[in-house]
Amino acid sequence: MAEQGFRGVFAFNATPTKDDGDAIDEVGLRKLAEFVVEQGVHGVVVFGSTGSNGSFTSGERLDAAKAAVDQVNGRAAVLSGIGSITTRETVDLAKAMEQEAGVDGLLVVPITYWPLTEGEVFEHYQRVAGAVQIPIVIYNNPWTTGVDMKPELVARLAEISNIRYIKESTSDLTRISRIRKLTNDSITVFAGWESLTLESFVAGAQGWFAGMTNIAPRECVTLFELAVEKKDLSAAQALFDRIFPLCDFMCQKSHVRCAHAALEIMGLPVGVPRRPLRELPPEDKQELRRLMKECGVLDASTQAAE
């Protein structure tokens, strides 16, 4: 799919596994990609946080991205997460994703054991961006990475030609406005915190990298259309009020575990997360099922999956 500007709802797909999480299930990966595309998402992301980025080898990620690109077949954008602990590995994987897998863009999250300086983070992104032609999405998720890219650093990174997007996941809504102002809207901000999605749209986010698409993809797309495209905030608020308990539950209990559990509940089982991650406890899975029914997404999602 030719990149004409990423915008809208990008599905952070769970990564289907088999053999107790020891291998990626390509059949399941293709089926899940097909499901979310049919529900109208604008993009499919393999190895975002909900896809257990960091749990799979570079070779596994490359093979999975190839399968996703083949399955989607131009009907939506396909992005791959390429977070790795060293710049060299990230650069190598970026090149392979562009040249061999044919993805439309890269989601780059810094993965590190050591605290990084701002200069080190900048050079990391600079080297990755310089190695490819396709767009780079900054993934700012200090809750999981320990690296917080402040708006001033984002503005510096936005001066690099193919760094055009950011998934802002600090839960600080002022970040969206500050990034937009500092970059003169040269970088597109995507919502990155499920329970603040509507507020993020109001603040100027032009899309949503959504783990919730594993539970309610059609509702996610409709929320974007109402809030961003139609500017119908009353209708958007009503919809968000309905699905908010699920968004909040996912934030509290882990996107990865909730996505795997929800897909099993919906009749689209994707196996278990790779160890050391495991499934939701039975009591949490029961509560998730209750919320899915209460929010009115279980029956609709189950029917769509059939």
The catalytic residues are 139, 167
Could you tell me where the DSSP H helices lie in the chain?
Answer: 26-38, 58-72, 87-96, 118-130, 142-145, 151-157, 174-183, 197-203, 217-224, 233-253, 255-265, 282-294, 298-305
Amino acid at 276: P
Q: Are 12 and 50 in contact (CB under 8 A)?
A: yes
- Its sign, for the CA torsion 229, 233, 239, 242, is positive
The amino acid at residue 53 is N
CB-CB contact of 165 with 180 (8 Å): no
- State the distance between the two ends of the chain, measured CA to CA, in whole angstroms: 27
Phi, psi (5° rounding) for residue 12? -85, 85
